Structure 1
């Protein structure tokens, strides 16, 4: 069953994020072949043109590489993967900080809350 999409964000961007997250988690290693456009479109429940745009976007950023007649593969360039990981981390931190500030939390409260959360999580593991 296809994972639902957020209607306020273009689907191709959401697919890009899903693929990037799989790379960061290690589900897709360097040099791993991605599903064909058709297969990913069927699995995701989207139009193949949307997947094509997703792959094009990832290729433009250097995260994937097309090999003529073979398919689309995760780059084997570790510098690109490290940069992508760092960019994703910064993006999530910015979102967290923005939302916490909108709720009125200070930086100290955010850090204390994060430290408390991580300490409790370690205790529960």
Structure 2
């Protein structure tokens, strides 16, 4: 399904959350599709099941997945859950990173070019929906 970087400073559960969000947003896993069980994914990735459970809990809190007791975890069909809230949160996070980049000496033009390159390669925004 995906690989994790055990040498990364980022906690494994956060890496899992990011990878799962990416799969959901890129529609690799579709709405209402069942995710691998905690035990199966822990075995596949050779990590502690509690780490998987923590990642699934975080994804559920963020509205990306939902759980059915005894059945498992599924991709949320309505990823517009808390949409405005998420956009506001992402903008605040982005603002912090841009301020930090400018402080570290990265030119505004470089940041703009990076955004334009990412937009062209990923496609996004309202014009590409």
TM over 0.5, shorter chain: yes
Q: How much has 1:114 moved relative to structure 2?
A: 3.4
Contact 2:31 2:75 in 1 (8 A): yes
97 and 66 in structure 1: CA distance in 2 versus 1, 3 angstrom threshold? same
CA separation of 1:104 and 1:78: change in aligned 2, threshold 3 A: same
Cα root mean square deviation, aligned:
3.4
Unaligned runs of 5+ in 1: none
Task: Report the count of equivalent residues.
Answer: 120
**Structure number with larger C-alpha Rg:** 1
* Cross-structure match for 2:69: 68
Which residue pairs with 2:106 in the alignment? 105
Spell out, residue by residue over 1:6-47, the C-alpha distance to the aligned partner (whole angstroms, 9 max, x if none).
Answer: 442221111111100111111111111100001111122211
For residues 95 and 41 of structure 2, the distance between their equivalents in structure 1, rounded to whole angstroms, comes to: 30
Structure 2, unmatched stretches of 5+, are 122-129
**3-state SS in 1 of match to 2:63:** coil
Distance 1:86 1:94 in 2: 12
TM-score, normalised by the number of residues in structure 1: 0.70
